[in-house]
A and B are shown apart, each in its own frame.
Chain A
Amino acid sequence: EPEVTQTPSHQVTQMGQEVILRCVPISNHLYFYWYRQILGQKVEFLVSFYNNEISEKSEIFDDQFSVERPDGSNFTLKIRSTKLEDSAMYFCASKPGLAGERGTDTQYFGPGTRLTVL
């Protein structure tokens, strides 16, 4: 069964460094998402991406964050200058179609990348 993959599983970085988290969504999916979960807190929506542009973003997704789908298969989240409070588990998800379309409204999640900022 196709699945969403994420690399690396764990990333350790120094404060102020740039990190890129990578995701390979399911191949025929059209909608892509990033979420994060700070330890002990809720899973929070960061951004959604469709047709090569951001369709929605949360207040967390400030100028330090960016997303890209560089080659039609990977979907990346970049944090330009990491802060201690960026330490979290980052989940990528993908979805085949719109919520109203039958059988296409389920988001499929990857296993997550644990980011630790020192």
Chain B
Amino acid sequence: GDSVTQMEGPVTLSEEAFLTINCTYTATGYPSLFWYVQYPGEGLQLLLKATKADDKGSNKGFEATYRKETTSFHLEKGSVQVSDSAVYFCALRNNFGNEKLTFGTGTRLTIIP
């Protein structure tokens, strides 16, 4: 079945550091890929998405590129801020008719000033 493997956390970085959170997936066909973020006390919010190979999703300075050859969707940001502290979830939706999301375990990111 479908699965998502995500970099284990927690991750602690200094402000303005470069961020990479790794995500790889296993799925049949051509899934859509997502990054969700959960800030303290809030729900999961869509951060970015990509629906086909070589697509790059971007939002709020974060980027991720859909790499079919490596089945990856790594999240990157060039210069993190304290406000980026949150839990980040990688997810996929298999486009064979169902609508459910398959998530990774989440990576807790803490940015220290």
Residues of A within 8 A of B (CB): 3-4, 6, 31, 33, 35, 37, 40-45, 48, 55-56, 58, 91, 93, 95, 98-99, 105-112
Shortest Cβ distance from residue A55 to the other chain B in the assembled complex, whole angstroms: 7
Tell me, in angstroms, the Cα distance from A41 to B6 when the chains sit together. 11
Interface presence of B112 (CB below 8 A) = no
Shortest Cβ distance from residue A77 to the other chain B in the assembled complex, whole angstroms: 15
Task: Return the contact of B89 from the options A33, A43, A99, A112 (Cβ within 8 A).
Answer: A43
Do the beta carbons of B98 and A110 come within 8 Å of each other?
no
Instruction: Give chain B residues whose Cβ lies under 8 Å from the Cβ of A41.
Output: 105
Task: Return the contact of B43 from the options A40, A44, A109 (Cβ within 8 A).
Answer: A109
Do the beta carbons of A111 and B43 come within 8 Å of each other?
yes
Q: Which residue of A lies closest to B46 (CB)?
A: A106
Tell me, in angstroms, the Cα distance from A6 to B106 when the chains sit together. 21
Residues of B within 8 A of A (CB): 4, 32, 36, 41-46, 49, 89, 91, 93, 95, 98-106
Shortest Cβ distance from residue A60 to the other chain B in the assembled complex, whole angstroms: 12
Shortest Cβ distance from residue B22 to the other chain A in the assembled complex, whole angstroms: 16
Task: Return the contact of B36 from the options A44, A95, A105, A109 (Cβ within 8 A).
Answer: A109
Instruction: Give chain A residues whose Cβ lies under 8 Å from the Cβ of B102.
Output: 45
Do the beta carbons of B32 and A99 come within 8 Å of each other?
yes
Do the beta carbons of A111 and B42 come within 8 Å of each other?
yes
Instruction: Give chain B residues whose Cβ lies under 8 Å from the Cβ of A56.
Output: 98-100
13 pairs, CB–CB < 8 Å, chain A vs chain B: A33-B99, A35-B101, A35-B103, A41-B105, A42-B103, A48-B98, A99-B32, A99-B99, A105-B32, A108-B43, A109-B43, A109-B44, A109-B45
Do the beta carbons of B99 and A31 come within 8 Å of each other?
yes
